[in-house]
Amino acid sequence: MHVKDIMAKDAVVVDKDQNIHDALKLMKKNKVSRLPVINTNQDHQKELVGIITEKDISLRLGSSKYGNLAPSHFHVSTVMTSQPFTAEGNQTLGDAAQLMLDNGIGGLTVLDGSRIIGMITKTDFLHTCQGRPFTDIAVKERMRSEVTTIGPQDRLVHARRIIIDEGIGRLPVMEDGQLQGMITAKDIALAMMSFRKVVPDKYKPARIRNLLVEDVMIQNVKTITEEKTMAEVAQILLDENFSGLPVVDEDGMTGIITKTDFLKLIVELEK
């Protein structure tokens, strides 16, 4: 199969001069976590100049460098990653998946020359994970058992730092060995955006530093068991629009399975 066979053909884009509030609204409305960034050149043609993700927004909003800046002053061009990796429609899925893994990214803008013709993300790859061999592979064979976690009383800026430093998208929230919730880059970005709207400028840096994980985390997290097949988990991730799921047994959490784990499996199978 090729990129063009599974890519989203109507890529949602954002202009580099819009602010990040607009970008987050587009992400929420279209249930996506990244947007190609465009610029209209002097020939009135739209060209790809970057990509912006929820993690990018989380990184900037929690940064002390931009502590007093209102969300309306954060233009997409300030936050985006310039010169993003791209794919072509005729590229194989294995090659595209390997490019994403090698560079720690979750999606590729698909180009035909300089024209944007689609977007391919980890979510699109999940649609290929039905039938054999995915029905024959159990979660326990592919999950990661060494999981970075955080406590509910830890500060939100600490959670943000871990997510950035470790290049991950989510952190299970643990207390006394039990799973209490989950916090993602998206949760942090939305929380800091809302916080900046209502808190006076002079109080923002101090108040943001005092936000706790429990103030923002998602509670009553959906979990799965080690015996679930990869095909079953792929369908859950698609149905629930999740990026990852904690794996549990009767004693508590034993690991985590994410879209990245599916991507690694797809690359192995393609080879």
Question: Which pLDDT value is given to residue 271?
Answer: 74
Question: Which pLDDT value is given to residue 135?
Answer: 96
pLDDT for 251 beyond 90: no
Q: Are the CB atoms for 213 and 163 separated by under 8 Å?
A: no
pLDDT for 245 beyond 80: yes
The dihedral built from the CA positions of residue 260, 265, 268 and 271, taken in this order, carries a sign that is: negative
Instruction: Report the range of poorest mean pLDDT among 7-16, 48-57, 189-198, 229-238.
Output: 189-198
Question: Which pLDDT value is given to residue 68?
Answer: 54
pLDDT for 199 beyond 70: no
When pLDDT is averaged across residues 172-179 and rounded to a whole number, the result is 93
Question: Using CA atoms, how far apart are residues 270 and 133, in angstroms rounded to an integer?
Answer: 12
The pTM for the full model equals 0.82
Better pLDDT: 152 or 24: 152
pLDDT for 157 beyond 60: yes
pLDDT for 94 beyond 60: yes
The chain-wide mean pLDDT, for the chain, equals 88
Percent residues over pLDDT 90 in the chain: 60
Q: Are the CB atoms for 27 and 35 separated by under 8 Å?
A: yes
Task: Please state, in angstroms and as integers, the Cα–Cα distance from residue 94 to each residue in 168, 228, 264, following that order.
Answer: 22, 25, 10
Instruction: Report the range of poorest mean pLDDT among 84-93, 141-150, 157-166, 232-241.
Output: 157-166
Better pLDDT: 168 or 222: 222
